[in-house]
Amino acid sequence: MADTALSTSIDNIAWLATLILHALILVLLSSTLIIRHLRLATDRRRKAMVGVWRPILAESLIEAPASLPSIHPRNRVLFLYLWNHLQESIKGESSEKLCAIIRRTGMDAVVRQYLAKGAMRQQLLAIVTLGHLKDASVWTQLAELAHADNAFLSIEAARALVRIDAPRAIPALVPLIAQRADWSPLKVLAILQDAGGELVARALGEAAQHAPPLIAARLIRFLASIRSHRALPLVRPLLGRDPLHEDVLASCLALFGQCSDPRDLPVVRQYTAHPTWFIRLQAATALGKMGVEEDAAILIGLLNDPHWWVRYRAAEALSMLPTMTDDKLSLLVQTLPPGEERRVLTPFVAKRIEAALAASPSIPAA
Amino acid sequence: MSVTHQPGKPTLLMAEDEEDTASLLRFLLERSGYQVVHAPDGKQAQQLIDTMPAPSLVLLDIMLPHISGLQLLPYIRKKPEWKQVPIIMLTADSSEHDIEQALASGANDYMVKPFNPRELSARLSRFLKPAV
């Protein structure tokens, strides 16, 4: 009898478990279907929104549309994505025409709200939008956000400040540019390019003169990346310092190479014989950009350098010398004695030939 | 991707993968009276080059999926009937090397994105008579 009772209990448990399992499967299936339905509805809503607004925004680049549809609160973020994307695809007076649209729809007030108390995504969108709108009324909030720990928020706030008023923003941003190692260098370069060459050259060049060596080197590397010729008179005196920090020297050589001012050529040549390998490397790279025919001899000498990277960059520089032709380089590699010098230069000869072929590639017919 | 020629309208082949930019370019060009044939990647552009009659102008993005604009350039220039077609390259940045290579390979002009709609019209008018 005890056995029968036990068997009934097991049966009941088994039935209950089966029921629970089926119920769970049903719940999972229903939720999958609901999620899918919601997703499709969202996609349809997005497509409808883009279908309505994309032509209106494009038309507004030419002339102001007579009337504008209202924007449903749940479409606001999507509208802002669309608007910002278009804003970043164009330049010139059309940008101001797009700004007029955002003011007519009242979305400028919405983005200010997003900036003050939105979620992270809304706040980021607000920062970018307000930058395009050149809205100086939010300057203080953006200046505070430029100091935020979050690198995404802070660098976008910095960019917005530059878009609003570059001469006011750059002096305030230089200390941040010098110290924020978490800021993407590419984004910093985009900010500096937005700000304009003269302003950046003066601000970064002067800051480099008074900064500790590692920060000065970082600032000069940014100047090199934007090929700031205007910064050269501010940077050249740094080479006269005693002691001269090697990182500062290396970044100065990078700047000289990028700007290729013939007045800096004697200095660059002089540092190809420096005892520190990465100074010789930077000097060789710079020489490849600004050197003349006679500098080939210096670079050929560096093909025997004890450090591999110097040999490699010297070979690359030789192949890039403004006076170097394909024929001259092919002849040069044949005259080098078999060994490391020839080995390190050969790939660059091949690269030049490959580049020449790339100009007339044969792609198969479709 | 089928091409129906509308008589009286000059045709432009636009190879551009970025949807928003392509949509904006199409709007601006169609508004100026051109018929736009759009290829969203290099492969489709190559197919169009093989099948459609030579257009009045080609707008060719340098960075295209599958086959780059720089690879398509000499391919276009090898086709006798496309030899004289003006080609304007679109580039996302002012990469001097790409621009040099494009001009050396037969491009007639280039335009850097982001672009000014007026600049686009000015560059097109260098090569095309105003559309009807």
Domain membership flag for residue A31? no
pLDDT at B92: 81
Contacts 24+ apart (CB under 8 A), A47-50: A49/A75, A49/A78, A49/A79, A49/A82, A50/A78, A50/A82
Residue A275 is part of a domain; what is its CATH number? Answer: 1.25.10.10
Domain membership flag for residue A16? no
pTM beyond 0.90: the answer is no
Please tell me the total count of domains within chain A: 2
The structure tokens listed for A84 are: 């910002």
Query: Among A131, A165, A199, where does a domain finish?
Result: A165
pLDDT at A365: 47
By C-alpha distance, which of B1, B5, B13, B24 is closest to B128?
B13
Query: Which residue range forms the structural domain that includes residue A323?
Result: 269-356
Query: Among A104, A132, A165, where does a domain finish?
Result: A165
pLDDT at B4: 58
Q: Count of CB atoms within 10 A of residue B68's CB?
A: 18
Place of tokens 């129906």: B4
pLDDT at A359: 58
Q: Is the pLDDT of residue B132 over 60?
A: no
Q: Is the pLDDT of residue B2 over 50?
A: no
- Closest CA of chain A from B8, distance in Å: 24
Answer left, alpha or beta for residue B87, where phi above 0 means left and psi between -120 and 50 means alpha.
beta
A55 touches chain B (CB under 8 A): yes
- pLDDT, one tens digit per residue, over B55-85 is 999 999 999 999 999 999 999 999 999 999 9
Domain membership flag for residue A143? yes
Where would I find the H helices in chain A? 2-60, 76-89, 94-104, 107-117, 120-133, 139-145, 151-179, 185-195, 197-210, 213-225, 232-235, 246-259, 265-270, 277-290, 295-302, 308-320, 326-335, 340-358
Amino acid letter, residue A170: I
The ipTM is: 0.80
pLDDT at A165: 96
CB contact under 8 A, A366 and B104: no
Domain membership flag for residue A293? yes
Residue A130 is part of a domain; what is its CATH number? Answer: 1.25.10
* Domain at B11-127: CATH code: 3.40.50.2300
- pLDDT, one tens digit per residue, over A311-320 is 999 999 999 9
Closest CB to B47 among A86, A361, A366: A366
pLDDT at A360: 53
Domain membership flag for residue A130? yes
List, as one string, the DSSP characters of A295-337: HHHHHHHHTT-SSHHHHHHHHHHHHH-TT--HHHHHHHHHHSP
pLDDT at A273: 96
Domain membership flag for residue A245? no
pLDDT band at B94 (very low <50, low <70, confident <90, very high): low
A59 touches chain B (CB under 8 A): yes
CB contact under 8 A, B117 and A90: yes
Mutation target to probe the B interface, by most B beta carbons within 10 A, among A93, A94, A225 is A94
pLDDT below 70 — which residues of chain A? 1-2, 358-366
Closest CB to B117 among A55, A61, A366: A61
Query: Among A132, A165, A198, where does a domain finish?
Result: A165
Q: Mean of the pLDDT values across residues B49-55?
A: 94
CB contact under 8 A, A88 and B114: yes
pLDDT at B106: 87
Domain membership flag for residue A257? no
Q: Which residue of A has its CA nearest to B119?
A: A92
- Closest CA of chain B from A91, distance in Å: 5
Q: Count of CB atoms within 10 A of residue A6's CB?
A: 10
pLDDT at A366: 45
Residues B37/A356, Cβ–Cβ less than 8 Å:
no
Q: How do strand B35-39 and strand B11-15 relate by DSSP bridges?
A: parallel
Domain membership flag for residue A134? yes
Angstrom distance (rounded) from CA A67 to CA B60: 35
pLDDT at A326: 86
- CA distances A262 to A52, A252, A265, Å, are 56, 15, 5
Coil, strand or helix: which one is B128?
coil
pLDDT at A313: 96
